[in-house]
Amino acid sequence: MQFLSIFAIVAGLTAPIQCTLCGPPLQIDNFSRWSSNTNSLNDWTSDDGTMSTISASNNLLLFKPSSSGSYFYESFPCQTASTNGYNAVSFVIKGPSGGSLILEIASSVCCSANAQLSKNVQVIGLSGVTQTVIVPFSSAIGANPNAVRELTWSGFSTLNTVWQLSNISFVCIPSSVIV
């Protein structure tokens, strides 16, 4: 498996990463319970019928986007991710070579308030083989890493082809990895 960091196109990336806790990854979904639309945080995951096909086996989600409106999401109880030592979202993906997608990090001003703070991060230049993509919260300025509520994948560059997604996690990566 390739390890690759792909970063958002975001101007003014200045915030230093504080990562004092750096615990083991928090698994959001490994797709073992896709058949009941349930993720590893015991919450809802779905494409709301926007893909032409979608299924999971062997901890791998396979889906075929059919239009620019195709998406897939993971919702979960509000996560104080940065307080808990995480500074990035990690997922494993196999998409078309040169392909791109958008990861939306939906959050709110704090876990006890619902006011939405969402940010789209563009992931570009997929390799065409299975790879780990790391999206640091610092590439999603405008989203609150201390009140993360949902992750949504959309904007798939190639339609009517099978993409694979697996092992969605919050992770703590060394600041040296973040450019």
Binder among 7, 117, 167, 172 for ligand NAG (CB under 6 A): 167
Q: Return the amino acid letter for 49.
A: G
Q: Phi and psi (nearest 5°) for 176?
A: -65, -20
Whole-angstrom distance, CA of residue 4 vs CA of residue 10: 18
Residue 138 three-state SS: helix
Nearer to ligand NAG (CB atom), residue 103 or residue 171: 171
Binder among 62, 169, 172, 178 for ligand NAG (CB under 6 A): 169
Per the structure block, which two tokens stand in for 69? 């409106």
Which one of 106-114, 121-129, 143-151, 167-175 is the stretch in contact with ligand NAG (CB under 6 A)? Answer: 167-175
Calculate the alpha carbon distances from 131 to 28, 97, 141, 164 in Å: 17, 11, 24, 10
45 is an interface residue for ligand NAG by CB under 6 A = no
Nearer to ligand NAG (CB atom), residue 19 or residue 117: 19
Site mask, ligand NAG, residues 3-42, x = CB under 6 A?
A: ----------------------x----x-x-------x--
Query: Where are the extended beta strands (E) located within 18-71?
Result: 26-29, 45-46, 51-57, 60-65
90 is an interface residue for ligand NAG by CB under 6 A = yes
Which parts of this chain interact with ligand NAG (CB under 6 A)? 25, 30, 32, 40, 59, 90, 132, 167, 169, 171
